[in-house]
Amino acid sequence: MSGVFSPSRAKIKERTLRTDKWWLQPAITFGVLFSFVIYATFRAFENKYYFAEPLISPFYSPCLSASCEPGTALAIFGQPFNNQYFGIGISPALFILIFPLGFRMTCYYYRKAYYRAFWLSPPACAVAEPHTKYTGETRAPLILQNSHRWFFYAGLVFNLILTWDTILAFRNAEKEWGHMSVGTLVFLFSTTMLWLYSLSCHTCRHTLGGRLKHFSKHPVRYKAWTFVSALNHKHPTFAWISLFGVAGADIYVRAVASGAITNFYFF
Amino acid sequence: MARMLKLRIWRGDSNDGALQDVQVEVNEGEVVLDVIHRVQATQMGDLAVRWNCKAGKCGSCSMEINGKPRLACMTQVAAYGEEETITVTPLRAFPVIKDLVTDVSFNYKKAMEIPAYAHPDELAPGEARMEQIDVERSQEFRKCIECFLCQDTCHVIRDHEENKKSFAGPRFFIRIAELDMHPLDTLRNRKKTAQEEHGLGMCNITKCCTEVCPEHIRITDNAIIPMKERVVDIKYDPARWLGSKIRKREGIV
Ligand code: SF4
Ligand code: SF4
Ligand code: FES
Ligand code: FES
């Protein structure tokens, strides 16, 4: 017997004596993250309804595969990938989703969320976890969480691409500038939230100034650090809202592309 | 207005023990430590409980109240429902001595393993000058009252006795962060030893330490995660490592 049942500890048979609903938070986290994963997987393999001029789903942007619908290419990347490898058809989403996925998987906040909700390590504070052994993030695979900063940089590139997609959304279906639709608003919201999520990231905070020993010698970086620290307080909120934002943008594009709704233009 | 409160108190020692039910009078505004003292005065003369300041500043009265690590002197009875039974037990991560008193010497051993502040040789004592913005981050961690509630709730050791030898715990991660961020500290290997000797990598940033800290120190966000990022700088980031060889940069030591 280990943990709270170790011989030297007070003999109490309950795993926890908490009387509040400690299981609620992990249960909600589990439900929401699990639904997102299911939906994202479905969409990644669906391989259609991701483009409705001028809107491209964030799950498929930049569309790098030769099989992408015409009009989805980004000039600087082109479409270098094939749609078939080893005789297997590959959805264009699969070439890019690894980056945003890796960014969120290694995020300090999401780590907390899924270690608690999926791995029950621990399920909640002062509730004994079910595992007999625990080594934290000291070994493979979890030591790879230390790669978060590389995914952060990749995430910035994606933010730029999605910002460009948002700018393109100020056109109409005939590619004429100066228009605005419900889709434009959906994209504006989603992209803004993604930027806030990235800017409030712990790695961002560290890079901008956190690693310094003497703030007084770096007044500009100190200002930047102070600003990002304030955003960093809300990092979990931005993590959730941006997740819903991206999913919402994809759902919207899917609905328009599949003909379920029409993208309403304000002007 | 006085009323009767249902209380369950864990009584026993390292061999055996159990929760015992008692009823005790409680008055408006009282905290859990008050009613424990009343139980001690009126019904259980030999009840062991550790306390000192009754002001949330000495960190002695740490215990678990309805399963949550808390300071008994800062926990209002009124925070619980009138019909609710309040359960008090000793800290469940440390060896119990008697009743509500545990042996927290683990923490003092860990404290001794952290090298002290290293003053610059060229500065005589009294000559040190620091700017406020440079010490601010370290000052947050100086608020610690060493109640060890964070240590008690940390699942790394609470749920895994065998990890105690290789894990310093959140209270000492803030100590390491305090010194690593200190503008004058000259000891250069704090990041490396944090990871290799004090078990920083065992922490999975699930934030229970932050949740229970009575001083509201943002242990995970302001100490542990920044230390993890500093460790990445020196151990897991080849680009920065290379940069530090070419050009000496601040923060890379
Ligand atoms: S955040 Fe880390 S140190 Fe704090 S309680 Fe959780 S595992 Fe322990
Ligand atoms: S960090 Fe907070 S919880 Fe931990 S010992 Fe200090 S005051 Fe107590
Ligand atoms: S994105 Fe969450 S910590 Fe970096
Ligand atoms: S008695 Fe000092 S903190 Fe409670």
Size of interface A-B (CB pairs under 8 A): 167
For the residues A100-122, what does the mean pLDDT come to? 97
- Write out chain A residues lying below 8 Å of B235, CB-based: 146
Give residue B64 CA to ligand 2 midpoint distance, Å: 15
Instruction: Please tell me if the CB atom of residue B61 comes closer than 6 angstroms to any atom of ligand 4.
Output: yes
Instruction: Please tell me if the CB atom of residue B184 comes closer than 6 angstroms to any atom of ligand 4.
Output: no
Contact B92 A121 (CB under 8 A): no
DSSP B13: B
Q: Which is the closest atom of ligand 2 to the Cα of B149? A: 3
Q: In whole angstroms, give the CA distance from residue B248 to residue B188.
A: 14
Residue A46: is its pLDDT beyond 50?
A: yes
For the residues B125-131, what does the mean pLDDT come to? 90
pTM of this prediction exceeds 0.80: yes
Give residue B243 CA to ligand 3 midpoint distance, Å: 24
Q: Does A84 touch chain B (CB under 8 A)?
A: no
For the residues A144-150, what does the mean pLDDT come to? 95
Which of A101, A105, A148, A232 to probe ligand 3 with, by most ligand atoms within 8 A of CB?
A148
For the residues A149-153, what does the mean pLDDT come to? 97
Q: What pLDDT is recorded for position A159?
A: 97
- Write out chain B residues lying below 8 Å of A8, CB-based: 14, 95-96
Q: Which residues between 146 and 185 in chain A have a beta carbon less than 8 angstroms from any beta carbon of chain B? A: 146-149
User: Which residue in this structure is represented by tokens 């700017």?
Assistant: B131
Q: Given CA atoms B166, B64, B105, B111 in this order, what sign does their dihedral have?
A: positive
Q: Does A138 touch chain B (CB under 8 A)?
A: yes
For the residues A82-91, what does the mean pLDDT come to? 74
Residue B250: is its pLDDT beyond 70?
A: no
DSSP β-bridge partners for residue A108: none
Indicate the domain borders of chain B.
3-102, 105-246
Residue B243: is its pLDDT beyond 90?
A: no
Name the amino acid, one letter, at B114: I
Strands (E), chain B: 3-12, 17-26, 62-65, 68-71, 86-89, 96-98, 101-102
Residue A75: is its pLDDT beyond 70?
A: no
A124: nearest CA partner in chain B: B208
Which of A101, A109, A194, A243 to probe ligand 3 with, by most ligand atoms within 8 A of CB?
A109
Buried b (16+ CB within 10 A) or exposed e, A241-258: bbbebbbbbbebbbbbbe
Q: What pLDDT is recorded for position B252?
A: 47
Q: Three-state DSSP class for B25?
A: strand
Q: B17-26 and B62-65: which strand pairing?
A: unpaired
Instruction: Please tell me if the CB atom of residue A201 comes closer than 6 angstroms to any atom of ligand 3.
Output: yes
Q: What pLDDT is recorded for position A80?
A: 77
Buried b (16+ CB within 10 A) or exposed e, A195-229: bbbbbbbbbbbbbbbbbbbbbeebeebbebbeebb
A132: nearest CA partner in chain B: B160
pLDDT tens per residue, range B203-233:
999 999 999 999 999 999 999 999 999 999 9
pLDDT band of A262, cuts 50, 70, 90: very high
Q: Does A232 touch chain B (CB under 8 A)?
A: yes
Name the amino acid, one letter, at B39: V
On the 0-12 / 13-18 / 19+ scale of CB atoms within 10 A, B119 is middle
Q: What pLDDT is recorded for position B79?
A: 96
Instruction: Please tell me if the CB atom of residue A44 comes closer than 6 angstroms to any atom of ligand 3.
Output: no
Q: What pLDDT is recorded for position B249?
A: 59
User: How many Å from the N-terminal Cα to the C-terminal Cα in chain B?
Assistant: 61
CATH code, B3-102 = 3.10.20.30
B166 near B199, Cβ under 8 Å?
yes
Q: What pLDDT is recorded for position A88?
A: 72
pLDDT band of A91, cuts 50, 70, 90: confident
- Write out chain B residues lying below 8 Å of A142, CB-based: 204
A16: nearest CA partner in chain B: B67
Contact B206 A115 (CB under 8 A): yes
For residue B238, cis peptide bond before it (omega within 30 degrees of 0): no
For the residues B94-110, what does the mean pLDDT come to? 98
- Sequence-ordered list of residues with C-beta below 8 angstroms from that of A96, at least 6 positions apart, any chain: A60, A61, A62, A64, A158
Q: Which is the closest atom of ligand 2 to the Cα of B148? A: 5
Residue B174: is its pLDDT beyond 70?
A: yes
For the residues A16-24, what does the mean pLDDT come to? 97
Give residue B221 CA to ligand 2 midpoint distance, Å: 14
Name the amino acid, one letter, at A105: M
pLDDT tens per residue, range B146-155:
999 999 999 9
Q: Is the ipTM of this complex over 0.85?
A: yes
pLDDT band of A94, cuts 50, 70, 90: confident
pLDDT band of A63, cuts 50, 70, 90: confident
Q: CATH for B105-246, among 1.10.1060.10, 3.10.20.30, 3.30.450.40, 3.40.50.10780?
A: 1.10.1060.10
The tokens describing B72, both together, are 């008994």
pLDDT tens per residue, range B52-85:
999 999 999 999 999 999 999 999 999 999 999 9
Contact B67 A16 (CB under 8 A): yes
On the 0-12 / 13-18 / 19+ scale of CB atoms within 10 A, B195 is buried
pLDDT band of B248, cuts 50, 70, 90: low
For residue B195, give Cα distances in angstroms to A152, A257, B201: 22, 50, 6
- Mean pLDDT for chain B overall: 95
pLDDT band of B253, cuts 50, 70, 90: very low
- Sequence-ordered list of residues with C-beta below 8 angstroms from that of A260, at least 6 positions apart, any chain: A254
**Closest-CA residue to A243 (of A48, A104, A68):** A104
Q: In whole angstroms, give the CA distance from residue A241 to residue A190.
A: 8
Q: B86-89 and B3-12: which strand pairing?
A: parallel
Q: Which ligand is nearest to the CA of B104?
A: 2
B51 near B72, Cβ under 8 Å?
yes
Instruction: Please tell me if the CB atom of residue B144 comes closer than 6 angstroms to any atom of ligand 2.
Output: yes
Name the amino acid, one letter, at A57: S
Q: What are phi and psi of A56, to 5 degrees?
A: -115, 135
Q: What pLDDT is recorded for position B184?
A: 95
Q: What pLDDT is recorded for position B242?
A: 80
